[in-house]
Copies of this chain bind each other. A is one copy, B any other.
Amino acid sequence: MDLTIDISRLWGELETLAAYSDAPAPAVTRVLYTEVDRGARSYLKELFAQAGLAVREDALGNTFARWQGTEADLTPVASGSHIDAIPHSGRFDGTVGVLGALEAFRALTAADFAPRRSIDLILFTAEEPTRFGLGCLGSKALAGVLSPSALRALRDDEGKSPDQARREAGFGGQLEEVALPDGHYHAFVELHIEQGPLLERDGVAIGVVEAIAAPATLRLTLRGEGGHAGAVLMPQRKDALTAGAEITLAVEAAAKGSGSTDSVATVGILDVHPRAVNSIPSEVVLTADVRDIDLERRDRMVAQIREAATRVVSARGIELGLEVINADDPARCAPEVIAAVRDAATAAGVSSTPLISRAYHDASFMARICPTGMIFIPCRGGVSHRPDEYVSPAALEAGVRVLARTLARLAG
């Protein structure tokens, strides 16, 4: 099959999409159901329509753009990713899996390929945890991992539930109708940037993902005692922030001391209340994101962080609230999809290597309901979630080419 990827068209579409942002370029901020998120969705739906795809949206805003197959009774294949972006991040995370899949469809169509199975291009709602504190909202709901009642219990910083927010954003229908039955898809494959340094370092074009590591996410609430920074003497203090500082260092120490370089742990949010120069912090809320490709080692780190937090608050007279936001199992990719991606790379004449994904993706949850795989492409310096996140046009072209060939095999 002779495929022509129109990389300048795809590049232009990525640029247009990046402009739907609440942060000045090159930074991108695109939070679920905000005006820029809705604008970006409209832009994509226009592109889908131009490509002749039939669009369906579910109650959460998960969007399915279908390329009709020649044999309507076969279960369809799917590909896709997300377009939401955490504050001040970059333009390639997620978006290359959406616009890249669209370009793959167009290249296959131009090469006169007609799939036997239909192929859905899925735009997943909120892979990032920005708004409701929980990542992969859309794919978790699709996979039935996140129930309608659990969804209804979530709140954003303003106290709004996803149910209220999605209605205000114009997504009607029932949350009960979001989950897809097991076997709904024949296979799912997601194109994504590596968000790590390995492919670039080794000069390899394609990472064939074999497993996706799962984060455990904790939210710790520390309640101490406020007071005037000039008047309350040191021995009388119950400072929630000094306790939070010790716990932050304990989170780092848990990963550094795990015995494996695969262990990572991060405090990404630490909010101080009342947040005044001359006030002792009375309350601190912090999150810990703990990951490992080995589930046991990850859970050992979580246990260590719990113990350290308990020790710190008891020594400082602080009250601790500890909530496990998620603690998902790692996902294994399906051998048949792994083989399809590897063979597609070979056929396309580009190098590939097996990889473990340290970041977490919508594919983690699609793997619960169908055979799933991922295609990684290198990003500069392994940098992601930053304004300087960058993928070269050549790397992107290789990724789309391999995705197109993979889809052709899975749907052919």
Contact = CB atoms under 8 A, between A and B. Distances in A.
Interface of A: 86-89, 128-130, 133, 135, 194-197, 213, 215, 217, 225-236, 239, 241-242, 244-246, 248-249, 252, 255-256, 261, 263-264, 266-282, 287, 289, 291, 325, 357-360, 382-386
B291 A232 contact: no
B291 A229 contact: yes
B249 A234 contact: no
Nearest to A257: B234
B194 A279 contact: no
Contacts of A195: 228, 230-231
A275 B268 contact: yes
Give the interface centre of A229, A241, A269 by most chain B CB atoms within 10 Å: A229
Contacts of A256: 234
Contacts of A129: 276-278
B252 A385 contact: no
Given A276-B269, A360-B230, A385-B228, A239 B252 contact: yes
Nearest to A251: B242
Given A195-B228, A252-B234, A261-B233, A287 B291 contact: no
A385 B226 contact: yes
Given A215-B278, A266-B278, A269-B276, 6 more contacts: A89-B279, A231-B359, A234-B263, A271-B275, A277-B325, A280-B385
A-B pairs, 8 with minimum CB distance: A230-B359, A245-B245, A229-B266, A196-B231, A195-B231, A245-B248, A86-B276, A88-B274
List the number of copies, as a whole number.
2
Contact of A384 (B231, B270, B274, B384): B231
B383 A227 contact: yes
Given A135-B277, A277-B289, A359-B231, A252 B242 contact: yes
A32 B123 CA distance: 45
A383 B215 CA distance: 41
A277 B133 contact: yes
Contacts of A88: 226, 273-274
Contacts of A231: 194-196, 358-359, 382, 384
A236 B261 CA distance: 11
Contacts of A213: 230
A278 B135 contact: yes
A276 B268 contact: yes
Contacts of A229: 215, 264, 266, 268, 289, 291, 385
A279 B239 contact: no
A241 B261 contact: no
Contacts of A130: 276
Contact of A280 (B227, B246, B268, B278): B268
30 contacts: A87-B274, A88-B274, A89-B274, A89-B276, A89-B279, A196-B228, A215-B230, A225-B386, A228-B358, A228-B385, A229-B264, A229-B266, A229-B289, A229-B291, A229-B385, A230-B264, A230-B291, A231-B359, A232-B382, A234-B255, A234-B261, A235-B261, A241-B268, A245-B245, A245-B248, A268-B272, A268-B277, A270-B272, A278-B359, A279-B385
A214 to B, nearest CB: 9
Contact of A386 (B226, B264, B382): B226
Nearest to A127: B278
Contacts of A384: 227-228, 231
Contact of A282 (B241, B246, B270, B386): B386
A217 B277 contact: yes
Contacts of A245: 244-246, 248-249, 267
